[in-house]
Amino acid sequence: MTELELSRCTILLVDDEEANLDLLERILELEGFESLVRTTDARQAVPLFESAAPELVLLDLHMPHRDGFEVLEDLVARIPTDDFLPVLVLTADATFRAKQRALSGGAQDFLTKPFNNAEVALRVRNLLRARVLHREQRRARRTAELLAEASRLLHASFDTGTALTHLARLLVPEVADRCDVELLREGERVRVASARVGPEGTEVQPGDGPPAPAGAHVLEVPLAATGAPAGWLVLGRGEGRRDFDAADRALGAELGWRAALALENAQLYHATRAAVHARDRVLAIVAHDLRSPLTAVRYDTEMLRASPSAALGEYETRALARLQKAADRMDGLIEDLLDVSRLNRGVLALERAETDVGALLEEAVEILEPLATSAGLTLEVRGGGHPVLSVDPTRLVQVVSNLVGNAVKFASATVTLAWETAGGELRVAVSDDGPGIPPEQVQHIFGTFWQARQADRRGLGLGLSIAQGIVEAHGGRIWVESEVDRGSTFIVALPLDPAVETPLTLVDR
């Protein structure tokens, strides 16, 4: 704080002797203090304290009408517990009891009359510096809290109208008597959120409308993060409040930047969602359009292979087998695309049935073992009993098939399928002894169309994403535990007592 700012601090002088007040005024005016409020009536001390809002009080103790100790008690009661507003006692009572009572009662300093003029000036200046420092620290702390809360509100929802209304409500009345948020739409400034001080506290105003008068003191802040302003934050204060200062302008600029960043994030989010939905619609259409001709190819291939009159040679037989295998693989890819579309639209239906999961997994092993054998791998099974769960057996086999198929791609010698019940859950684990997954890739592993090895693209990268969607639709969890060069383990946990079916939407990661 500069000396000029210090000299503008308001000081309240309370003494029943006019001569004492005149002397104090001369001392303080010579030191450059400009805002002095005085009274000889102790009964006026508290009203003046409330109306003048001083930064320091100079108080006599023994006065008619009201004792200085009573005045001190009333003043201290009006100072917030987290605030520091110093009281300097100036009295002719030099007894230890008076000094002890004043200092223990809330006074910060004590001087006896007659006093040294220079000492009074020095103590006043020191107390004011302490007051201003405390006020600045308090303001900085509150500003940090306000910015943190503003960030939380702005990023709590991608609905910009709701987020900006919460921001306006947060700033009234602490920062301003009125707050309007205006966005630029088709070249016009349109108010989208507004709050003001009303008869019964903070009132939220209708958001959609033209700009409105903000008050006697106005601070207008652009909402700009990386380019041209997307709008403005307009803060207004009435006649009874001080004008906006440099600290207020800095706070406003920070709020404007954070609000603009939240707006950009919301726009990116909605654009991404629109792109994902468009992609899913295209996938669904393409998958359906491919399925009809593919069905014809599969049917004709099967008919040719089964026809006794076809007189197929060895080459034709092998070609038809390859065609049949390719058609089966294409059909699987189409079904994966349709599953992604169903999951993203939240319409994946589960056909639950009370199922012996142990027996189901044993049947799945018979289907999956040739897959491992053809890759030169061993499929080890570690069964954990025969728990009965309400699941969709077809979908659960699909999950296990996807996990085992993924493990076969990366295992060097062995793939392990194990299951057990523990902690109210059935846990199914599929492990491989492959290269493992780098830590920076683990968070993406269940992402749609994401593959751990971009240079070795086998499939569309949908298997793990679909597995996650199916597991979560069952009310379960799926995660991976992996260590580079030590292999990976994918774990599915399903509740033994399942909750209501909760189909979920896949999220691109």
pLDDT digit string, tens, across residues 214-262: 568 999 999 998 888 999 999 999 887 889 999 999 999 999 999 999 9
Average pLDDT of the residues in 256-275: 91
Give the span between the Cα atoms of 175 and 172, in whole angstroms: 6
Give, in order, the Cα–Cα distances in Å from 143 to each of 24, 155, 241. Answer: 36, 18, 18
Q: Residue 342 above 80 pLDDT?
A: no
Give per-residue pLDDT as tens, 278-330.
777 777 777 777 777 777 877 778 777 777 666 677 887 888 888 877 777 77
pLDDT score for 502: 47
DSSP state of 499: -
pLDDT score for 457: 44
All structural domains of the chain: 3-139 (3.40.50.2300), 146-265 (3.30.450.40), 270-344 (1.10.287.130), 353-495 (3.30.565.10)
pLDDT score for 440: 87
Judging by DSSP bridges, how do beta strands 217-223 and 353-356 pair with one another?
A: unpaired
Give the span between the Cα atoms of 72 and 106, in whole angstroms: 7
Own/partner pairs, 397-402, CB within 8 angstroms, 24+ separation: 397/360, 397/363, 397/364, 397/367, 398/466, 398/467, 398/470, 399/467, 399/470, 399/471, 399/492, 400/361, 400/364, 400/368, 400/428, 400/430, 401/364, 401/367, 401/368, 402/463, 402/464, 402/466, 402/467
Confidence of residue 210 (pLDDT cuts 50, 70, 90): low
pLDDT score for 165: 92
> How many Cβ atoms sit within 10 Å of the Cβ of residue 93?
17
DSSP per-residue codes, 426-473:
EEEEEEE-SS---HHHHTTTTSTT--S-TTS--S-S-HHHHHHHHHHH
Q: Residue 159 above 50 pLDDT?
A: yes
> How many Cβ atoms sit within 10 Å of the Cβ of residue 367?
12
Single-letter residue type at 51 = S
User: Percentage of the chain with pLDDT > 90?
Assistant: 60
Average pLDDT of the residues in 178-199: 90
Helix (H, G, I), strand (E, B) or coil at 40: coil
Q: Residue 134 above 70 pLDDT?
A: yes
Give per-residue pLDDT as tens, 18-45.
999 999 999 999 999 999 999 999 999 9
Omega within 30 of 0 (cis) for the link into 211 = no
Give the span between the Cα atoms of 372 and 353, in whole angstroms: 29
Single-letter residue type at 277 = H
For residue 296, what are its two tokens?
Answer: 């014809």
Give the span between the Cα atoms of 232 and 182, in whole angstroms: 5
Q: Residue 508 above 70 pLDDT?
A: no
pLDDT score for 332: 72
pLDDT score for 336: 73
> How many Cβ atoms sit within 10 Å of the Cβ of residue 483?
11
Among candidate residues 292, 255, 69, the one with its CA nearest the CA of residue 153: 255
